[in-house]
């Protein structure tokens, strides 16, 4: 079965950094886009960053561009999210997810409804 396991969340102060990891199993890792999403209390789930099947193309939400970096290590079946210059508004549960179809376009990669496998999430809390 497809499984995604996030780790690396925690509580930090504004301006600090965290590195999240998502370990995937149960499918051919290089065949699907894997992305990071987040959801804060009272807000809709939103796309954060996506990485394509070969790890060469990435896509970021405007609110994290220049601060977050997504990467993919095929030898470890792992997708990372390096988060720098964290802000209180980054506080949320962060999820990694796998696209429902192997042919998903990167143009749609930050839409939650294009994903059907999700991890349990890892909490990120940023204090001012």
Kindly state the average pLDDT of the residues 97-115. 97
Kindly state the average pLDDT of the residues 53-72. 95
Kindly state the average pLDDT of the residues 66-90. 97
Q: In whole angstroms, how far apart are CA 125 and each of 72, 87, 106, 117? A: 24, 9, 28, 24
Closest CA to 82 of 14, 24, 36, 25: 36
pLDDT band at residue 100 using 50, 70 and 90 as cut-offs: very high
32-47, pLDDT tens digit by residue?
A: 999 999 999 999 999 9
Closest CA to 50 of 97, 87, 17: 97
Q: In whole angstroms, how far apart are CA 39 and each of 2, 33, 36? A: 22, 20, 11
7-34, pLDDT tens digit by residue?
A: 999 999 999 999 999 999 999 999 999 9
């Amino acid at each position: 079965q497809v499984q995604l396991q996030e780790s690396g969340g925690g509580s930090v102060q504004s301006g600090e950094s965290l590195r999240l990891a998502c370990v995937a199993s149960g499918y051919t890792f290089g065949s699907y886009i894997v992305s990071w999403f987040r959801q804060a209390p009272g807000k809709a789930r939103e796309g954060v960053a996506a990485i394509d099947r070969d790890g060469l193309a990435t896509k970021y939400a405007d609110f994290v561009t220049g601060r977050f970096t997504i990467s993919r290590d095929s030898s470890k079946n792992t997708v990372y999210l390096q988060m720098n210059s964290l802000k209180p508004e980054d506080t949320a549960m962060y999820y990694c997810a796998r696209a429902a179809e192997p042919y998903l376009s990167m143009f749609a990669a930050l839409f939650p409804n294009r994903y059907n496998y999700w991890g349990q999430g890892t909490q990120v809390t940023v204090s001012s």
